[in-house]
Amino acid sequence: MKLERREFLKLSGAGLALAPGFLLEAAQEAAPATDGHRLVVLQLTGGNDGLNTVIPFEDDSYHRSRPALAIPKARVLRLEGSTEMGLHPAMEGMQALYREGHLAVIQGIGYPNPDRSHFRSMDIWHSANPSIKEKGKGWLGKSLETKPAELNAVHIGGESLPLALHGERHVASIQNLDFIELLSGSKGSRLKKILRAANSDPRPQREDYVRGLANETLDSLDKILKVSRNPAPVEYPASELGRKMKLAGQMVSGGYPARILYLSQGGYDTHARQGDVHTGLLGDLSGALTAFYRHVEKTGAAERVTVMVFSEFGRRVKENASLGTDHGCAAPMFLLSGKIKGGLHGPSPDLSNLDRGDLRFTIDFRRVYATLVEELFRIDSKKLLGGSFDKLGLFT
């Protein structure tokens, strides 16, 4: 079947063609690295309330500052080895992972002169540069450039490629998970044949690049579909995040040739009526992360993957008049892996020594980045971060 160019582009705009509709850019041309360690980055967009996630339940200042939002001491999920810190009651799965030694909680993450703007702060995290003025390359994009024969990446879900992955390398970006499910069904084979045919017809020379890019994208799609058909050995939450994490688990366990996977979960800008919303978000997060870890654990990949969970900033210590919390600064991060040194890392938050109502950071986030790129990818972090940052002792 032959499709005219304008018809092909029409399908692209509908999200059914591959180049602009399914993938923002074609998959990398790097050689498969099925034996390398994977890094899964999960972004909590909006600014997660770290104090109601990793809770200083013995601190009276916490309870006084949040008469409506503070989690009662009796409901906090205690973290073994600590007499003062615990998890939100919706995070039972992550408490179990912590107890088993697979979850590291890094407290007090931030950077000097913090910015409470969503966009500015996210740019700082993505570029690993607190003095960034214009968007350029991201810390992961520069990692890809450093080892083009070993590293490639995929972005799962979302309309635009995160700044963290920007660079000279092409990155696969799955915009619509429904499209994966469509092509996995009975109609998928026919649709792919149509798209292949559309790209195999003779075209003017000026369209050779577009045709080649689309065919590369279709090749990448075939690999994604292959791993997505592998049944997961565990049940994931029936949520958008659950679907993303399931595909990530299938990719990691099925040998999809991407060593960096980037996902996000939105909704964390909880200025009003935070209680129920935050409980739902953290329950979804905990369920999806727990399912992912059980998935890779059952398929023997747990020691070859690390999940990093971060948010662009934390929230204010005091609740506001709308029963929410406003933009803050320092917050905890999570690392999940079969090779991690589980437990609490860094000092607990000091609510008696605030900076204009915000928690002071105690660990620069670039120390976490330095640890990850050096330990997992054997890359000199100074080349990516523009300076030397001491690694944290996080891996066995």
Residue 38: which H helix or E strand, with range? strand 38-44
> Does residue 209 lie in a domain region?
no
> Does residue 257 lie in a domain region?
yes
DSSP-based three-state secondary structure for 336: strand
> Does residue 71 lie in a domain region?
yes
DSSP-based three-state secondary structure for 183: helix
> Does residue 4 lie in a domain region?
no
Tokens at 255, concatenated: 């040998």
Question: What is the SS3 string spanning 277-329?
Answer: HHHHHHHHHHHHHHHHHHHHHHCCCHHHEEEEEEECCCECCCCCCCCCCCECC
Residues near 44 by Cβ (< 8 Å), separated by ≥ 6? 264, 265, 268, 281, 285, 309, 310, 311
**Alpha carbon distance 105, 107 (integer Å):** 6
**pLDDT for residue 209:** 54
CATH assignment of the domain containing 30: 3.40.720.10
**pLDDT for residue 35:** 61
Phi, psi dihedrals of residue 17, rounded to the nearest 5°: -100, 165
Decide if 345 contacts 105 (C-beta within 8 A). yes
Number of domains in the chain: 1
| Per-position pLDDT tens, the chain of length 396 | 333 333 333 333 333 233 333 333 333 343 344 469 999 999 999 999 999 999 999 999 999 999 999 999 999 999 999 999 999 999 999 999 999 999 999 999 999 999 999 999 999 999 999 988 777 899 999 999 999 999 999 999 877 899 999 999 888 888 888 877 777 665 566 666 656 665 565 555 546 655 566 666 677 778 888 898 889 999 999 999 999 999 999 999 999 999 999 999 999 999 999 999 999 999 999 999 999 999 999 999 999 999 999 999 999 999 999 999 999 999 999 999 999 999 999 999 999 999 999 999 999 999 999 999 999 999 999 989 989 999 999 999
Decide if 142 contacts 384 (C-beta within 8 A). yes
Q: Which amino acid is at 95?
A: Q
Domain that holds residue 133: 25-177+236-385
> Does residue 392 lie in a domain region?
no
Q: Is 86 left (phi over 0), alpha (psi -120 to 50) or beta?
A: beta
**Alpha carbon distance 173, 372 (integer Å):** 22
HSE-CB at 70 with a 13 A cutoff on CA atoms is 17
**Alpha carbon distance 292, 232 (integer Å):** 9
**Alpha carbon distance 44, 47 (integer Å):** 7
> Does residue 55 lie in a domain region?
yes
DSSP-based three-state secondary structure for 103: strand
Cα 180 to Cα 72, 212, 256: the distances in Å are 43, 21, 15
**pLDDT for residue 214:** 63
> Does residue 84 lie in a domain region?
yes
> Does residue 358 lie in a domain region?
yes
**pLDDT for residue 4:** 37
